[in-house]
Chain A
């Protein structure tokens, strides 16, 4: 009996109807927090963090570039997670969450590519190189576009959710394969500056700025996804 009530609670917010107000509350809290953190992060990035010894002022785009690149990859995994949940539990909301996350993920992928190009010009002397990370990021953008295009061309939303889910899962299995195949193929990009296992190779203020910006992007993503999922709920369930 106890386990049963717990299970019921667990799925309480799986219904779009009950999730709708909660999504509104989350969005109202996350959006201002994201704005505040972005201001703090940009202030640290542009005024507090020291000038880089090798790259001068040009490196400061890192405060947007790196968090955007993190989010672009992370959001694809989250999207695939919701897609898999939708296939496994056949919940309506999971597919809506996957749809709501895709545009934000594609946006961050695009920002990561764009800022990367602007950063590459002064440091490498070229906007674009066929380097492993750039290439796999570009392919990630194509994967996002494929997911959104597939969903957009299926009229029945439930079928669109399920078809998109299969594609997202196939994609998430492929992302590491693509990454490593491209890495062995060609590499020029600097190694990861931040890693969990060793001390970061950058000044603490730089790291702080970057982490604050990452948190701001997180909160922005949550807020954007919540607003979008509310729109999708209204669109699909207005009969309820």
Chain B
């Protein structure tokens, strides 16, 4: 079971490395969107400082959503997904492995990049840790929940835009807790409560999302 999961993660990472531009586009999107906000709302430092957590979180959420439709699409198109469904290993394990690989490629770089964006928004350096930690806890939840949507919209016309309609409302709690933790920290309060809630959401998503992803994949491929 673990051997299968490792093999799937390694395969997906290798595939992602061979097509580096795919990773780059999502990251570039994140950077560009966050650079648009100061141009739109003005470069007043106090304003930027106060909107920074929300802007960075929303941009991270959109960037991780944009790469979702590729999660299963290529495997669906070339028949690999059907082989995975037929494989002896539980489908939930394979799904988690694919989500993990997706997060390593699309989520983790956002966590690393976020402090750099925070620098542009003149966020206090003491908050970088909270920001990165909240993203590190929150983006895997986004990948898990998003994978359910990606599996449900597999092979549908207008899949990408439909996916955003399904998934964005479900992202709301993560956004509130993630951005909220940074805002609490910037107000001088302890962000521990929000971060623990994010961790709880991560545990709950890790426990329940695999079943939903597996069920959705079976429905979409029958």
Interface residues of A (CB under 8 A from B): 87, 139, 142-143, 145-146, 149-150, 153-154, 159, 162-163, 166-167, 169-171, 173-174, 177-178, 181-182, 184-185
Contacts and interface: CB of A to CB of B under 8 A. Distances in A.
A178 B166 contact: no
Contact of A181 (B153, B158, B172): B172
B148 interface: yes
Given A146-B165, A166-B212, A182 B172 contact: yes
B170 A163 contact: no
A160 to B, nearest CB: 10
A208 B145 CA distance: 42
A226 to B, nearest CB: 27
B220 A174 contact: no
Contacts of B157: 153
Contact of B162 (A87, A149, A166): A149
Given A181-B176, A182-B176, A166 B216 contact: yes
A139 to B, nearest CB: 5
Contacts of A170: 145, 148, 170, 212
Given A149-B162, A173-B208, A185-B180, A166 B215 contact: yes
A133 B56 CA distance: 25
A146 B180 CA distance: 26
Nearest to A173: B208
Q: Which 9 A-B pairs have the closest CB atoms?
A: A181-B173, A142-B169, A146-B166, A162-B219, A181-B176, A139-B169, A146-B165, A163-B152, A177-B173
B173 A174 contact: yes
A188 B18 CA distance: 52
Contact of B152 (A142, A150, A178, A184): A150
B44 interface: no
Contact of A163 (B168, B177, B180, B216): B216
Contacts, number: 69
B165 A174 contact: no
Nearest to A156: B222
21 contacts: A139-B169, A142-B165, A142-B168, A150-B152, A153-B153, A153-B157, A153-B162, A159-B220, A162-B219, A163-B152, A163-B220, A166-B219, A169-B212, A170-B148, A170-B170, A171-B170, A174-B170, A177-B201, A178-B172, A181-B173, A181-B177
Interface residues of B, number: 28
Contacts of A177: 173, 201
B156 interface: yes
Given A142-B165, A181-B177, A163 B219 contact: yes
B128 to A, nearest CB: 23
A153 B169 CA distance: 19
Nearest to B152: A163
A158 B201 CA distance: 32
Given A163-B219, A181-B177, A182-B176, A143 B208 contact: no
A167 B180 contact: no
Given A166-B215, A166-B219, A167-B166, 9 more contacts: A139-B172, A143-B170, A153-B158, A153-B162, A163-B219, A166-B148, A170-B170, A177-B201, A181-B197
Contacts of B215: 87, 166
Nearest to B177: A181
A142 B168 CA distance: 9
Nearest to A142: B169
Given A149-B162, A166-B148, A185 B176 contact: yes
B145 to A, nearest CB: 8
Nearest to B154: A163
Nearest to A181: B173
Contacts of B176: 181-182, 184-185
A170 B141 CA distance: 14
Contacts of B177: 181
Contacts of A181: 172-173, 176-177, 197
Contacts of A163: 152, 216, 219-220
B216 A150 contact: no
